[in-house]
Structure 1
Amino acid sequence: MPTETLNFLVAEDHSFQRKSLVRMLKLLGAVQVAEAGDGAAALEVLQRAAIDIAIVDLNMPGMDGMELIRHLAELHSPAHIIVSSALDRALLASVETMARAYGVHLLGVIEKPATPDKLRQLIASYGPVAESQRARRAVFSEDEIRAALERREFLPYFQPKARLADGGIDSVEALARWRHPQAGVVAPGAFIDKLEGLGLIDELTWQMLEQSAAAWKAWAAQGMEFRISVNLSLSSLEQPGYADRIIFYLAEQGIGSRHFVFEITESTAMTDLPHCLENLTRLRMKGYGLSIDDFGTGYSSLQQLAQIPFSELKIDRSFVTGACASETTRTMLASSLDLAGRLGLSSVAEGVETRQDWALLKRMGCGYAQGYFMARPQSAADLPGAIARWTETHRALSAAAA
């Protein structure tokens, strides 16, 4: 989007630095630039004016930058934020994590002194609010969600996993989406928790499995074979015989076990350990892959790696995003990859969104990359086209590196 069409706000208590940022923005083509000397004044501007991008200093008197970010989250402000500060990198990384956790539209963090090049790069990443962020704010009733499940309005969208060694794609993850008749495609943040609360997550899982199996057979008929990852919930795995049900169904569909991986995300503690372990071990014994999702967060931990026969380790996006700029994050990412290698597990990095992320992961020896840099989640029909576009992108990357 052209810089001259955007409305900016600079929130900085130091007069010289504030004026310097305003001059930089105007050099970059900005026309509308508002100013605020502290967080309270900035919040007032943001409440009465349509601000597209706000550059926010952290260390301001009165309401500081962190409090301002919290208020913007509570107001569901559409403004995108660039954090500017001279604080230590580790502190800036914590603020960035905080802002994303609040759901604020964060373009990035720049260390002082800001430069036109740094600002240009972050402004260039400005765009419409992402589907997942819109969905988190959407509110649907339990009755609507229950009826949608009965009408089978939920379907899998598939996101490719690209091999870092050669860019090839042989694996995808099935991600639940709701094709709402009025709201369009709705991301899982709007319905997963309510389905779990209603005790209906197992029905959603089964619909995702059935539709993923149908997609696999359709692709195979076109000469394309992918390994599909499907998420399983703990409540499903606590059911005796659940693994047998999956094994029987996929065998009945004529799909070999090597073509499916089951991802386990632990947002809560595993309360029924014996049944969960029996189901997971049986799936692994029959040749299905098991993936520990969002490794390093919540309950996806070393203890689970020791208890469950995983074949794949998925590194949470929080250890990928910003790893190029943060030595702390990069160290944790390297440790996770080293652990996967020592345990003989395939490694997948989530949240790969830039060429720099791709290059870093390739240098570090990661196995697979998953994220918007390769492709957004796609319907089954649109997936082959998205893979073809990625193939062209990767070919250009390889040619540039040669």
Structure 2
Amino acid sequence: MNVYRVLIVEDHPFQHQYLANIFLATGGFEVELVWDGASALNRLSHNRYDLLLTDLMMPQMDGVQLIQQIAQLHRPPALALMTAASRRMLIGSAQAAKNLGLHVVGLISKPVRADEIVSLRKNLDLHIAEQVCGYGRQTRGCRSRATLIKALENEEIQAWFQPKKSLRDGGIVGAEALARWAHPIEGVLMPGDFLNDVEKAQLEIELLGSMLAQTLHAQAQWTKMGHPLPVSINLPTHLLDRGDLVDNLLRQVLASQADPRLITFELTESSTTRFSSDYYAGACRLRLMGFGLAQDDFGKGYSSYFNLVSTPFTELKIDRSLVSGCSDNEGQAAALLSITDLGRKLGLITVAEGAETQSELGVLRRIHCDLVQGFIISPAVARDDLAALLKIDGTGPALL
């Protein structure tokens, strides 16, 4: 069992002793405690820790200020936050930490329970394992354009498919195409390992074309099995600046004798068009050609209600940040209910991303969300593996 070095920042004497005891009882930790943020920064500048657990409400330097300071360290530890304040305060502070590049492994509402410390151990185990697995890999931003072009030409960068299931009958009713790089040396790479490089190399059009081609091929195979499955594909919004994009996409689909109605393009929030007119023109033309159109990651970042009601979307995808933990957070559950109600009134199919537990599925069923995708259903799988899932789908999964 790994032994983790933990630094705890807590200004209450009773909590000092209580936290020391609960970590000791859990086992696998070497614990040091300090009273304030300044002392924590001093320790962190001279020693290496695996985890920093800090209260948010502290005098002089509060927990959020401490987060901002440790983000500037060369090798910051993993972070866990605790507070007696609202759960929303924890979530907001965690978002600040994540946006600063810190790895958050726990959000704890006081009083701290023993099972939450056990969960911290498990999350640290996963975090350390990810670091070990990634050791020795080429760092992000280092893939040459020539390497990426070769990977695209050889179809090393593949379309894998994450199924979408109906929350009414449990059947697979669609899928999302997600990029995976089957690297000949490094193994299967996730999008975070190469998508930024694709963007920097200005190869997003080529990647989109490849994902569409592989999707059309997969759909043809599934249709022969009796499953004409709709598939959604991510489309970086700034590509709508290209006046020929929609025509080229339609030409590619028709050349495969496929139906545009079985393809939905998900507009991502990571970018925007230079001119709003390009956005609306591109979105409307996609719909005029028969393609579906989804607002991706709604509830994250800067999703606009005006944008939602003024764009001819057919689908509303609820971001995983609102789905994860919704069964334990009344505020999140209320937000989900509001979004699904809005989607229904606008005539949109609502899709919840990132469901991982039975209790989260229960919330999504209760609020009448239409579709769900997430690890509890299935991760993204290769084309043939999804075909195998479609063959057994008629039996109806027990979890739904």
> What TM-score, normalized to structure 2?
0.83
Alignment of 1:137-152 (within 5 A): 138-141=139-142, 144-152=144-152
Deviation at 1:30, TM superposition (A): 3.6
Alignment of 1:192-271 (within 5 A): 192-271=195-274
- Alpha-carbon distance between aligned partners in 2 of 1:78 and 1:184, rounded to the nearest angstrom: 28
Q: Write the letter of the residue equivalent to 2:265.
A: F
Deviation at 1:182, TM superposition (A): 4.2
Whether the aligned pair in 1 keeps the contact of 2:170 and 2:396 (CA below 8 Å) is: no
Q: Relative to 1, partners in 2 of residues 1:392 and 1:223: Cα closer, same or farther, differing over 3 Å?
A: closer
Q: Relative to 1, partners in 2 of residues 1:256 and 1:198: Cα closer, same or farther, differing over 3 Å?
A: same
Q: Write the letter of the residue equivalent to 1:149.
A: I
Deviation at 1:77, TM superposition (A): 4.6
- For 1:151-170, what per-residue CA distance to the aligned partner results, in whole angstroms no more than 9, with x for missing partners? 31422232222222233222
- Alpha-carbon distance between aligned partners in 2 of 1:26 and 1:12, rounded to the nearest angstrom: 17
Q: Report SS of the residue matched to 1:204.
A: helix
Instruction: Show the counterpart of 1:317.
Output: 320
- Alpha-carbon distance between aligned partners in 2 of 1:126 and 1:362, rounded to the nearest angstrom: 32
- Alpha-carbon distance between aligned partners in 1 of 2:302 and 2:14, rounded to the nearest angstrom: 47
Deviation at 1:289, TM superposition (A): 1.2
Q: Write the letter of the residue equivalent to 1:261.
A: T
- Alpha-carbon distance between aligned partners in 2 of 1:107 and 1:246, rounded to the nearest angstrom: 41
- Alpha-carbon distance between aligned partners in 2 of 1:386 and 1:58, rounded to the nearest angstrom: 46
- Alpha-carbon distance between aligned partners in 2 of 1:72 and 1:384, rounded to the nearest angstrom: 47
Q: Report SS of the residue matched to 1:329.
A: helix
Whether the aligned pair in 1 keeps the contact of 2:333 and 2:363 (CA below 8 Å) is: no
Whether the aligned pair in 2 keeps the contact of 1:7 and 1:51 (CA below 8 Å) is: yes
- For 1:22-46, what per-residue CA distance to the aligned partner results, in whole angstroms no more than 9, with x for missing partners? 2122323345333333334445555
Q: Report SS of the residue matched to 2:326.
A: coil
The range that moved more, 183-192 or 41-50, is 41-50
Q: Relative to 1, partners in 2 of residues 1:87 and 1:76: Cα closer, same or farther, differing over 3 Å?
A: farther
Q: Relative to 1, partners in 2 of residues 1:126 and 1:222: Cα closer, same or farther, differing over 3 Å?
A: farther
Aligned residues: 394
Instruction: Show the counterpart of 1:341.
Output: 344
- For 1:325-347, what per-residue CA distance to the aligned partner results, in whole angstroms no more than 9, with x for missing partners? 33333332222111101011000
Whether the aligned pair in 2 keeps the contact of 1:241 and 1:279 (CA below 8 Å) is: no
Deviation at 1:301, TM superposition (A): 1.9
Q: Report SS of the residue matched to 2:383.
A: coil
Name which of 6, 20, 24 aligns with 2:22. Answer: 24
* 1:70 aligns to 2:71 (yes or no): no
Alignment of 1:27-42 (within 5 A): 27-42=25-40
Q: Relative to 1, partners in 2 of residues 1:193 and 1:361: Cα closer, same or farther, differing over 3 Å?
A: same
Q: Write the letter of the residue equivalent to 1:361.
A: L
Q: Relative to 1, partners in 2 of residues 1:386 and 1:72: Cα closer, same or farther, differing over 3 Å?
A: farther
Instruction: Show the counterpart of 1:169.
Output: 172
Deviation at 1:356, TM superposition (A): 2.5
Deviation at 1:72, TM superposition (A): 4.4
Whether the aligned pair in 2 keeps the contact of 1:131 and 1:187 (CA below 8 Å) is: no
- Alpha-carbon distance between aligned partners in 2 of 1:280 and 1:48, rounded to the nearest angstrom: 54
Instruction: Show the counterpart of 1:372.
Output: 375
Q: Write the letter of the residue equivalent to 1:326.
A: N
Alignment of 1:117-132 (within 5 A): 117-129=115-127
Aligned-residue CA RMSD in angstroms?
A: 3.5
Q: Write the letter of the residue equivalent to 1:139.
A: R
Q: Report SS of the residue matched to 2:380.
A: coil
Unaligned runs of 5+ in 1: none
Instruction: Show the counterpart of 1:11.
Output: 9
Q: Relative to 1, partners in 2 of residues 1:38 and 1:134: Cα closer, same or farther, differing over 3 Å?
A: farther
Whether the aligned pair in 2 keeps the contact of 1:158 and 1:175 (CA below 8 Å) is: yes
- For 1:152-195, what per-residue CA distance to the aligned partner results, in whole angstroms no more than 9, with x for missing partners? 14222322222222332221111223344444333333443444
Q: Relative to 1, partners in 2 of residues 1:115 and 1:298: Cα closer, same or farther, differing over 3 Å?
A: closer
Q: Relative to 1, partners in 2 of residues 1:78 and 1:246: Cα closer, same or farther, differing over 3 Å?
A: same
The range that moved more, 174-183 or 261-270, is 174-183
The range that moved more, 157-166 or 272-281, is 272-281
Deviation at 1:278, TM superposition (A): 3.9
Q: Report SS of the residue matched to 1:176.
A: strand
Q: Relative to 1, partners in 2 of residues 1:107 and 1:238: Cα closer, same or farther, differing over 3 Å?
A: same
- Alpha-carbon distance between aligned partners in 2 of 1:82 and 1:356, rounded to the nearest angstrom: 23
Unaligned runs of 5+ in 2: none
The range that moved more, 234-243 or 339-348, is 234-243
Whether the aligned pair in 1 keeps the contact of 2:67 and 2:97 (CA below 8 Å) is: yes
The range that moved more, 196-205 or 130-139, is 130-139
Q: Report SS of the residue matched to 2:16.
A: helix
Deviation at 1:287, TM superposition (A): 3.0
> What TM-score, normalized to structure 1?
0.83
Deviation at 1:373, TM superposition (A): 2.8
The range that moved more, 347-356 or 35-44, is 35-44
Instruction: Show the counterpart of 1:189.
Output: 192
Deviation at 1:79, TM superposition (A): 4.2
The range that moved more, 230-239 or 375-384, is 375-384
- Alpha-carbon distance between aligned partners in 1 of 2:395 and 2:99, rounded to the nearest angstrom: 34
